[in-house]
């Protein structure tokens, strides 16, 4: 069989034109099959390559689309992040401004507290105030805030808040002390005579030497005579306890009230007594009514202040 294939041949005849001689050549019978198979393989390979190329182009296109969409998404995200950062930076600036304003307010409170101390008579040193408060006027050259600037501002705000915390604690303690001292002062004021015993301010006879209205001889007057209409209200001039009530031809209907620090007040020539011995009385409370009982020439109140049993000028005890 091998020999048979080997010997068989195809003869090709080529006739160029009528005048030329015919050319012929022989090829082994196997050659056309080999050529056909080769051509077929070439076509298959070409088709395969074409399909591969088309697929690659498609994948590349898909990838490009995806990359583009990712790129757009990324750009959007970056923009959003930038906006958020900007917003946060603005918040930091706003917060810093608020903190600064609050610090200024705390400084004001501190100043007020110190003023109260001064009024009270305490001699605390005045702390120098931080000139943090600023006006509303704005202007100047603007440039976008850098990250470092915002960070610095944040750091300053944090420090300011820490300082303020400390300051508020100090203020709280200081105000508690001031309140206690103010309460003590208030208590002291309550038990110290400091108001007028009647609404009238007409003093008909002062403290000290005077001409006696009955004998016209120089005598010592131990209190204030305050002229007032009959039955005008007589108020006790400080918190205290009624030490005595009574009536005699000299003092008329009279009340003695004892207060703190050895102080006593005496109300004479009353038309009526409204309190009893041992009764607790509050500053401003009505204890009797103006009259002209005892050694008196007309309706008036004889008001006397005694310190450790000695009559003193009531002037410092009248506002």
* Helix and strand totals (H; E) in the chain: 3, 14
Identify which of residues 268 and 275 has a Cβ nearer to Zn ion in the complex: 268
Identify which of residues 226 and 287 has a Cβ nearer to Zn ion in the complex: 226
For residue 223, the minimal CB distance to Zn ion (Å) is 5
For residue 304, the minimal CB distance to Zn ion (Å) is 8
For residue 254, the minimal CB distance to Zn ion (Å) is 11
Identify which of residues 117 and 224 has a Cβ nearer to Zn ion in the complex: 224
For residue 300, the minimal CB distance to Zn ion (Å) is 8
Under rule CB under 5 A, which residues in 48-77 are in contact with Zn ion?
A: none
List strand residue ranges (DSSP E) for the chain, in order. 9-14, 23-28, 202-205, 208-211, 218-221, 224-227, 233-235, 240-248, 252-258, 263-273, 280-281, 286-290, 300-307, 310-312
Residues across the chain = 319
Q: How far apart are CA 194 and CA 104, in angstroms?
A: 39
Identify which of residues 224 and 257 has a Cβ nearer to Zn ion in the complex: 224
Among 225, 235, 301, 303, the residue binding Zn ion under the rule CB under 5 A is: 225
Q: Measured at the alpha carbon of residue 142, what is the angle toward residues 138 and 146, in degrees to the nearest 5? A: 120
Q: How far apart are CA 224 and CA 24, in angstroms?
A: 168
If we measure between CA atoms, which residue out of 217, 286, 232 comes closest to residue 257? 286
Q: Which residue number places its CB atom closest to Zn ion?
A: 302
The count of other CB atoms within 10 Å of the CB of residue 223 is 22
Count of residues in contact with Zn ion, rule CB under 5 A: 2
If we measure between CA atoms, which residue out of 214, 197, 231 comes closest to residue 295? 214
Q: How far apart are CA 267 and CA 306, in angstroms?
A: 11
For residue 311, the minimal CB distance to Zn ion (Å) is 11
Identify which of residues 99 and 296 has a Cβ nearer to Zn ion in the complex: 296
Given the rule CB under 5 A, which of 19-27, 151-159, 221-229, 305-313 is the region that contacts Zn ion?
221-229
For residue 260, the minimal CB distance to Zn ion (Å) is 25
Among 110, 251, 283, 302, the residue binding Zn ion under the rule CB under 5 A is: 302
Per CB under 5 A, residues contacting Zn ion are: 225, 302
């Amino acid at each position: 069989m091998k020999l048979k294939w080997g010997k068989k041949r195809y003869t090709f005849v080529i006739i160029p034109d009528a005048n030329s001689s015919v050319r012929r050549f022989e090829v082994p019978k196997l050659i056309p099959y080999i050529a056909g198979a080769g051509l077929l393989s070439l076509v298959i390979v070409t088709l395969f390559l074409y399909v591969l190329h088309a697929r690659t182009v498609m994948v590349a296109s898909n990838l490009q689309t995806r990359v583009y969409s990712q790129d757009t998404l990324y750009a959007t995200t970056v923009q959003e992040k930038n906006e958020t950062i900007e917003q946060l930076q603005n918040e930091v600036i706003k917060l810093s401004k608020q903190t600064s304003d609050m610090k200024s307010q705390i400084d004001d409170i501190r100043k007020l507290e110190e003023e109260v101390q001064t009024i009270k008579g305490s001699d605390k040193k005045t702390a120098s105030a931080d000139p943090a408060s600023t006006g509303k006027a704005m202007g100047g050259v603007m440039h976008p805030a850098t990250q470092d600037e915002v960070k610095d501002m944040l750091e300053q705000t944090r420090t300011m808040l820490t300082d303020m915390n400390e300051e508020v604690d100090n203020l709280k303690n200081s105000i508690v002390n001031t309140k206690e001292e103010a309460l003590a002062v208030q208590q002291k004021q309550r038990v110290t005579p400091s108001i007028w015993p009647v609404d009238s301010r007409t003093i008909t006879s002062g403290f000290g030497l005077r001409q006696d209205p009955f004998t016209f001889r120089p005598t010592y007057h131990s209190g204030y005579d305050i002229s007032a209409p009959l039955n005008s209200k007589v108020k006790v001039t400080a918190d205290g306890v009624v030490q005595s009530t009574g009536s005699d031809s000299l003092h008329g209907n009279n009340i003695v009230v004892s207060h703190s620090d050895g102080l006593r007040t005496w109300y004479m020539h009353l038309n009526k007594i409204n309190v009893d011995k041992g009764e607790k009385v509050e500053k401003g409370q009505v204890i009797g009514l103006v009259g002209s009982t005892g050694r008196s020439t007309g309706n008036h109140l004889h008001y006397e202040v005694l310190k450790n049993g000695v009559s003193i000028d009531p002037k410092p005890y009248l506002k």
